[in-house]
Amino acid sequence: MTNEKLPEHVRRNRLAWDKLARDYAEPGRRAWSEEEPSWGIWSIPETEAQILPEVKGLDVIELGCGTAYVSAWLARRGARVTGIDNSSEQLKTARELQTKHGLSFPLLHGNAEEVPLPDKSFDLAISEYGASIWCDPYKWIPEASRLLRPGGELIFLVNGTILILCTNDDENIPASPQMLRDYFGMHRFEFPDSGGQWNSTSATEIGFGSCEQAVLKLKILKNFARKKVPQRVIPL
Ligand SMILES: C[S@@+](CC[C@H](N)C(=O)[O-])C[C@H]1O[C@@H](n2cnc3c(N)ncnc32)[C@H](O)[C@@H]1O
């Protein structure tokens, strides 16, 4: 999608992430080399967190894949993975790492709120601090639902609601013991110093939050019409 056709927040995010990509290359390299997936700000190993289902043979899409290490972890477990990301610079690192590790899967440059792929193409959609925090939850969650087959699952990792409420506009300042933002009426949070990106706590949107981070699994129980949010929320 050309820059001009992107929604304003997506255009701003693209500019910001094309610049930030340089800082994410090295962590991306390290994560690609990890044998076991790990999650969140404390790098909880998958054996402990048990977030992933059996993915062997599943069609999986990673929404906001960045350097695509989550996709790599899933591909090594036998999934047929596709990644989409809004930043060509992040995808450049992802492609270098695919070559380095001899692992190939499709990487699309685009907006995860409007994925150019047919309905019901995937069994699992996953987002690790990708679409799950940078996209409008009223757009990307219905889009994930559209892409999933009946019985498919959406798994995503976001910043916890309380952490976001206690985080200053300057992200370099540690979280405060006080709430700095309103709990009620949450939808989007601006962090002006990091390129005017915005951050939506999708977890809050659907009534779920935890102290530091939240992992959500949504199960698509039946055939949902476009623009409907999946019904069942399974907090871990
Ligand atoms: C913190 S990274 C997370 C991705 C990956 N886990 C990583 O660390 O490389 C956030 C990613 O979300 C992507 N992103 C932001 N807005 C997006 C959108 N509208 N569609 C797709 N990707 C988006 C950014 O380009 C960036 O690569």
* Cα–Cα dist 180/190, whole Å: 13
φ/ψ of 149, rounded to 5, equals: -80, 160
CA of 130 to the centre of ligand 1 (A): 4
Q: Whose CA is nearest to atom 4 of ligand 1?
A: 66
Give me the pLDDT at residue 2, please.
Answer: 60
| Ligand 1 mutation pick, 84, 95, 129, max ligand atoms within 8 A of CB | 129
Pocket of ligand 1 (CB under 6 A): 10, 13, 17, 24, 28, 64, 66-67, 70, 84-87, 90, 111-113, 128-131, 134-135
Residue 128 Cα: closest atom of ligand 1: 6
Question: Domains in the chain, ordered, with CATH?
Answer: 3-159+220-235 (3.40.50.150)
User: Predicted confidence band at 202 (pLDDT cuts at 50, 70, 90)?
Assistant: very low
Residue 113 Cα: closest atom of ligand 1: 19
Q: Does position 206 have pLDDT exceeding 60, yes or no?
A: no
Do residues 123 and 114 make contact, with C-beta atoms less than 8 angstroms apart?
Answer: no
pLDDT, one tens digit per residue, over 34-70 is 999 999 888 889 998 888 999 999 999 999 999 999 9
φ/ψ of 159, rounded to 5, equals: -70, 140
CA of 166 to the centre of ligand 1 (A): 23
117-121, 147-151, 167-171: least confidently modelled range: 167-171
Angle at 24 between CA 37 and CA 72, to 5 degrees: 35
pLDDT, one tens digit per residue, over 8-23 is 889 988 998 999 999 9
Q: According to the 3-state scheme, what is the secondary structure of the chain?
A: CCHHHCCHHHHHHHHHHHHHHHHHHHHHHHHHHCCCCEECCCCEEHHHHCCCCCCCCCEEEEECCCCCHHHHHHHHCCCEEEEEECCHHHHHHHHHHHHHHCCCCCEEECCCCCCCCCCCCEEEEEEECCHHHHCCHHHHHHHHHHHEEEEEEEEEEEECHHHHHCCCCCCCCCCCCCCCCCCCCCCCEEEHHHCCEEECCHHHHCCCCCCCEEEEEEECCCCCCCCCCCCEEEEC
| Ligand 1 mutation pick, 65, 93, 114, max ligand atoms within 8 A of CB | 65
Give, in order, the Cα–Cα distances in Å from 24 to each of 27, 29, 152, 163, 215.
5, 9, 30, 22, 22
Residue 64 Cα: closest atom of ligand 1: 22
pLDDT, one tens digit per residue, over 100-139 is 999 999 999 999 999 999 999 999 999 999 998 888 888 8
CA of 193 to the centre of ligand 1 (A): 17
Q: Does position 190 have pLDDT exceeding 80, yes or no?
A: no
Q: What is the pTM of this model?
A: 0.86
CA of 129 to the centre of ligand 1 (A): 7
Do residues 221 and 145 make contact, with C-beta atoms less than 8 angstroms apart?
Answer: no
